[in-house]
Amino acid sequence: MSFVNRYAVTIEWGDCDAAGIVFYPRYFAMFDAATAHLFATASGMRQHDYQRHFGIAGIPMVDTRATFLLPSSYGDEVVIESRVTEIGRSSFSVHHRLLKPDAGQGAEALAAECWEKRVWAERDPNDPARMRGKPVPAEVRGLLGLG
């Protein structure tokens, strides 16, 4: 079973639009932060530390999509549950589920889902202005429960 990280988020005033609900691009920023927290928690290192440790420039996104099911508003306490669902040679897929407490039910309601495809990337030694895919290390696969 793959490693799952739960990242708590408080919806802030600046996350919301004139209707008082989260402006959809803000969700993508939250999901990006959730991916960083997933890797930080799995590795036990902060983002810049695991980048240095694994010799990568980053984990840029190459594809994403989301489905929004329930609105979130200023002051809501939500949790983003994230896991890597697939790892290729140098790319991987992340699935996020944004959960809200279900009022009075004692459960969590699914408010949004996001799917990302990212690349384990390093600077191209022939052109440092460019990045290229690098094989995802076995250590990372193991940390994510996908070894």
Catalytic (active-site) positions = 17
Paired strand residues for 87: 92
Tell me the two tokens of residue 98.
Answer: 């944004």
Contact 98, 34 (CB under 8 A): no
CB 51, CB 120: distance < 8 Å: no
Three-state secondary structure along 84-121? Answer: EEEECCCEEEEEEEEEEEECCCCEEEEEEEEEEEEECE
| 77 token code pair | 């306490």
